[in-house]
């Protein structure tokens, strides 16, 4: 296992919130909770939110498959649904949205890495509703860090982490970053680099 870094590009590492084994345990628990809450996998689908929600959705689908059976998995890019896009500045980079099933009548579990203000989830719900009319939308997140700006809560949470408004939760996954780790990062002071 790699040692805990002192800092990342985003700032000083204050703590490791989840190591690889803790991430795996959290996903196993979430998979069981999803099956239990939905009384199986009938008319159940997972939709991973770009970027790190996608590999998390695939991992959850694999765990659910070994426990109960196959569930379809989709990929959702919410870029054009965001409420913070402006006509000036850099243009957003679009990623793939691939939902190869009809969401109508399904229970769709949105999967993301971190729940923060709730704005990303709101955008994701709008995107899913444009694809059809699901029976229900649920939310599974690896980390809930609080500081909600919208009345949104997760149905399934790997770890609740109280944070300050200036902290950052950095999720690293082997599919996107080469390793599994969740770090609590204190950003560098404004106006310059840390000394």
- Tell the CATH topology of 19-83+95-164: Rossmann fold (3.40.50)
Any bridge partners for residue 160, and if so which? Answer: 144
Q: Using one digit for the tens of pLDDT, what is the confidence trace for 43-81?
A: 999 999 999 999 999 999 999 999 999 999 999 999 888
**Measured CA distances, 166 to 11, 89, 92, 188 (Å):** 11, 24, 24, 10
Cα–Cα dist 144/156, whole Å: 10
pLDDT of amino acid 166: 86
Contacts for 3 with CB less than 8 Å, ≥ 6 apart: none
Give the chain's mean pLDDT.
90
Domain residue spans of the chain: 19-83+95-164
Considering Cα of 80, then 85, then 88, then 91, what sign does the dihedral take? negative
Written as one string, the DSSP assignment of the chain is: -PPPPSEETTEEEEEEEE-HHHHHHHHHHHHHHHHHHTTSSTTEEEEEETTTHHHHHHHHHHHHHHHT----EEEE--GGG-S---SSSSPPPP---B--S--TT-EEEEEEEEESSSHHHHHHHHHHHHH---SEEEEEEEEE----SSS---SEEEEE----TT-EEEEE-HHHHSS-EEEEEEPPPTTS---
**pTM (global) more than 0.85:** yes
Q: Does pLDDT of 12 surpass 80?
A: yes
Of residues 1 and 178, more confidence is placed in: 178
**Measured CA distances, 188 to 155, 168, 185 (Å):** 33, 11, 9
CB-CB contact of 180 with 172 (8 Å):
yes
Q: Using one digit for the tens of pLDDT, what is the confidence trace for 103-144?
A: 999 999 999 999 999 999 999 999 999 999 999 999 999 999
Q: Does pLDDT of 96 surpass 60?
A: yes
């Amino acid at each position: 296992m790699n040692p805990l870094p002192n800092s990342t590009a985003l700032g000083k590492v204050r703590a490791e919130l989840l190591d690889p084994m803790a991430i795996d345990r959290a996903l196993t628990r979430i998979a069981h909770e999803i099956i239990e809450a939905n009384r199986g996998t009938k008319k159940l689908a997972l939709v991973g939110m770009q970027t790190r929600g996608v590999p998390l959705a695939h991992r959850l689908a694999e765990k659910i498959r070994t426990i109960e059976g196959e569930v379809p998995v989709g990929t959702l890019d919410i870029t054009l649904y965001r409420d913070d896009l402006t006509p000036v500045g850099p243009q957003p980079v679009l990623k793939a949205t691939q939902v190869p099933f009809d969401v109508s009548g399904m229970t769709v579990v949105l999967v993301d890495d971190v729940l923060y203000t709730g704005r990303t989830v709101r955008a994701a719900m709008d995107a899913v509703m444009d694809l059809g009319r699901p029976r229900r939308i649920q939310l599974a997140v690896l980390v809930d860090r609080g500081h909600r700006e919208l009345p949104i809560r997760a149905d399934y949470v790997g770890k609740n982490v109280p944070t300050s408004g200036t902290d950052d939760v950095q999720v690293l996954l082997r599919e996107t970053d080469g390793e599994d780790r969740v770090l609590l990062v204190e950003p560098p002071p404004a106006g310059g680099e840390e000394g």
